[in-house]
Amino acid sequence: MVQQHLPDGKLVYLHCSSIFNGPHAQIRQLKKVRQLLEKNQESIQILTNEYTLLDIAAVAKGLLEDQVFELLPEAKLRYPELFRPSSKSQKAKRVASEAEVLRTEAQAVQDAVLSSDDKGGENSGESSKVDEQEATLEKKVKTEECVQVGPPELGQHSPSEAHGMLPVPKLHPIYLPYRTQHRILHLVQALLEQCCLDFGNAWAPEMMQARRWDGAESIELTQWTRRFAPVAKSLPATAIIETSGQSLNEVLFATSPLRHSAVHRLRTSTAGMIRMLKAAVTFTEALNDSKRTERITELKTQLEAGIEEIVQHQNLLERKLTDQLQDIARRRAELEELERSCVQEMLEADKQQRTEVGAALEISLASSTQVSNVDDDSNVHVGEEKPDADAEEETDDGSLVDVIYSLV
């Protein structure tokens, strides 16, 4: 039933944010707002079931004028609850899925490295002692960064499972388009190799000359860290800035997953990318490269802001889906009730028909029984009259005999 009052702005924003985006967020005329809503009636059926298009358009126009659809910060300021996880279990599932994908990605990096070594690359002639040291340190870093948060809670079901619908894909963990991912990781790798070039020329020129590393492009990140790790022990204390909680070797080899992901074109989640950029910042800080530390930190901040925007939008989409599924469940319950009513109506109509036919048959049977009783009574009366007539004849014959004898 259509309501006579205006819908709540939060409800209109929730279900119309996907309509009034991009250039459509610039619309201000009520007529154009209504026309756009008419084109998207299927996606706002939950609103049109309760309110008229004109009322919905009026509220949407007000939100457009206040730039709520256009500016995400404005929407978050006005309706902050829409951008938070709908429950603690939902947030826990997101964290658990990110932890699981980090473990998977770490394994993918390791498999890519082993595959490359099996084929015999530039690393095949390296010292087995250095290889073992790097593998041990990388394993330690990955283990620390991929701590299991815990499995999803038992008994929890997705909205689709709860309502008996088709499975709804999970929106997390988050993956950027691969082109974007590759450009970010490739840029950070280049910045780290430039950092290695400057630091090596300043503090380990013999190593640089021996390896013919005369430009950043000639440096391969993991090769540089392999060669530099033994040299670092002989450097002055002022050359390297100590990092609390990590040894220098741990800091150096923590950048290996970034290089392997970029070179081997491994798909990496945003959580994995943030982890790699953090390791890169620590790396440049340790080598006292403030310029590149600042640049990578800026990239990391931008990436974190983008991820936060995606997460909040996903929360909004999940809330919208929850409302839609609840509406579908309500309508499904109404249809099921209507179905039961139709079945019951059929059964009652059948019962009534059978009862009427049965009553008619009983009336017919009762009439037949009465006619049969009348016939039986008639037959019994006729049988009694015949014996009386015979008796009279016998009496008459006896009288005649008496008269004859009297004459004789």
Q: Tell me: the pLDDT tens digits for 327-369? A: 888 889 999 999 999 999 999 999 999 999 999 999 988 888 7
Instruction: Note whether 111 and 243 are same-domain residues.
Output: yes
* 165 occurs within a structural domain: yes
* 107, part of any domain: yes
- In this structure, is residue 253 part of a structural domain? yes
- Which segment of 107-121, 173-187, 243-257 scores lowest on mean pLDDT? 107-121
End residue of a domain, out of 63, 83, 103: 83
Same domain as 239, residue 179 = yes
One domain for residues 64 and 190: no
What value does the mean pLDDT of the chain take?
Answer: 80
Tens digit of each residue's pLDDT (9 = 90 or more) over 30-80: 999 999 999 999 889 889 988 999 999 999 999 999 999 999 889 989 999
- Tell me: pLDDT of 281 over 80: yes
Q: What is the 3-state secondary structure (H, E, C) of the chain?
A: CCCCCCCCHHHHHHHHCCCCCHHHHHCCCHHHHHHHHHHCHHHHHHHHCCCCHHHHHHHHHHHHHCCCCCCHHHHHHHCHHHHCCCCHHHHHHHHHHHHHHHHHHHHHHHHHHHHHHHHCCCCCCCCHHHHHHHHHHHHHHHHHHCCCCCCCCCCCCCHHHHCCCCCCCCCCCCCCCHHHHHHHHHHHHHHHHHHHHHHHHHHCHHHHHHCCCCCHHHCCHHHHHHHHHHHHCCCCCCCCCCCCCCCHHHHHHCCHHHHHHHHCCCCCCHHHHHHHHHHHHHHHHHCCCHHHHHHHHHHHHHHHHHHHHHHHHHHHHHHHHHHHHHHHHHHHHHHHHHHHHHHHHHHHHHHHHHHHHHHHHHHHHHHHHHHHHHHHHHHHHHHHHHHHHHHHHHHHHHHHHHHHHHHC
- Mean pLDDT score, 377-385: 54
pTM for the predicted model, two decimal places: 0.65
pLDDT of residue 351: 95
- Where is the domain boundary, 268, 293, 327? 327
> Does 256 lie in the same domain as 200?
yes
The verdict on 195 and 303 lying in the same domain is: yes
Q: Are residues 212 and 114 in the same domain?
A: yes
Q: Which is higher by pLDDT, 407 or 176? A: 176
Q: Is residue 358 part of a domain?
A: no
Q: Is residue 276 part of a domain?
A: yes
Asked if the structure places residue 400 within a domain, the reply is no
**Do residues 172 and 218 share a domain?**
yes
Q: What is the mean pLDDT of residues 208-223?
A: 91
Q: What was the pLDDT predicted at 344?
A: 95
Shared-domain flag, residues 71 and 113: no
Domain containing 77 equals 9-83
End residue of a domain, out of 283, 303, 327 = 327
Q: How many domains does the chain have?
A: 2
Residues 125 and 26 in one domain: no
Is 90 exceeded by the pLDDT of residue 293? yes
